[in-house]
Amino acid sequence: MNKSLMAQLLVVFIATQALGLFAGSYLIQNDYRAVIVNENPDSLENSIGLIAWILASTAVMLLMIKFAPEWLFTFLIKILEALATIGTAIIVMLPLPITAEEALAIALLLAVTRIAMPGQLVLRNITGIVAAAGAGALIGASLGAIPVAVFLALLCAYDFIAVFKTKHMVTLAKAITKKNISFTIAMPTKEHQFELGTGDLVVPLAFAVSILGAERHLPMPYAMVPSIAVLAASLVGLMATLHYASLHKGTALPALPAQGILMLATFGITKLAGF
């Protein structure tokens, strides 16, 4: 087992999930949510809407990679990164005792610093962690546990097809990694620099936050048990996938299917246990 890789993964995963659960809990308590398709958080239409949004976004990105001038693709992807950084950073800072203006200033500073220091891997990873935490917290607080579970199952199937069948996710991942943007987390080792897609952090967090919202009638810390159990299952799946990838360098692997199977199984077990 590559100990350096696993240590980095552990730090990144725990930091993202802790930050996201902190923000997600605040969003739930204050009834902050985004409307995906309709205002009913338990509607499965929202699951379909999220998948449709991902498919459409992926199609646009692939078309840009194939047909757009290099400078235009780079410019647009950097703008997207900056906007995502600002928006998600503000979400993460909502629970803090600071004003909206101060939160915006800090978010802008993070985005500007990232643009000014594009080669800084640590800064890129920090930005990626913040982005994943904010996005996962908002999605999880906006949807019920069942719609997120359905979304997770659909996304696992899509991820498998996109990597092993059509292989278009491999093309997209290479293009994003080449641009050095915060949509992946860099984990350098002596042998190889591994790249972890932020989606593999966002989706488990969204599921955990949605479960936390469903269990808020329980007293703490019991309300956290199902969410922590699901995240632990996700981490096991992620570690297994990265361990395999470290032994077979150059092999593109989707992490989400292994994570998803273990998370859904764990979610079912917590329900059988009475949570």
Tens of pLDDT, residues 39-95: 899 999 999 999 999 999 989 988 988 888 988 888 988 899 999 999 999 999 999
Phi-psi region of 105 (alpha: psi -120 to 50; beta: other; left: phi over 0): alpha
Predicted pLDDT at 250: 67
Q: Could you tell me which residue, 107 or 58, shows the higher pLDDT?
A: 107
Predicted pLDDT at 248: 75
Amino acid at 3: K
Q: Could you tell me which residue, 41 or 220, shows the higher pLDDT?
A: 41
Task: Report residue 96 as tokens.
Answer: 């803090």
Q: Is the omega angle on the peptide bond into residue 257 within 30 degrees of 0, that is, cis?
A: no
The answer to whether residues 260 and 155 touch, using CB atoms and an 8 Å cutoff, is yes
194 beta partners: 187
What's the whole-model pTM score?
A: 0.92
d(CA 58, CA 65): 10
Nearest to 184 by CA among 192, 195, 170: 195
Q: Could you tell me which residue, 116 or 261, shows the higher pLDDT?
A: 261
Predicted pLDDT at 1: 65
The answer to whether residues 140 and 23 touch, using CB atoms and an 8 Å cutoff, is no
Average pLDDT over residues 120-128: 92
**Statement: residue 159 has pLDDT above 80:** yes
The span from the first CA to the last CA of the chain, in angstroms, equals 35
Predicted pLDDT at 140: 96
Predicted pLDDT at 245: 81
Q: Is the omega angle on the peptide bond into residue 221 within 30 degrees of 0, that is, cis?
A: yes
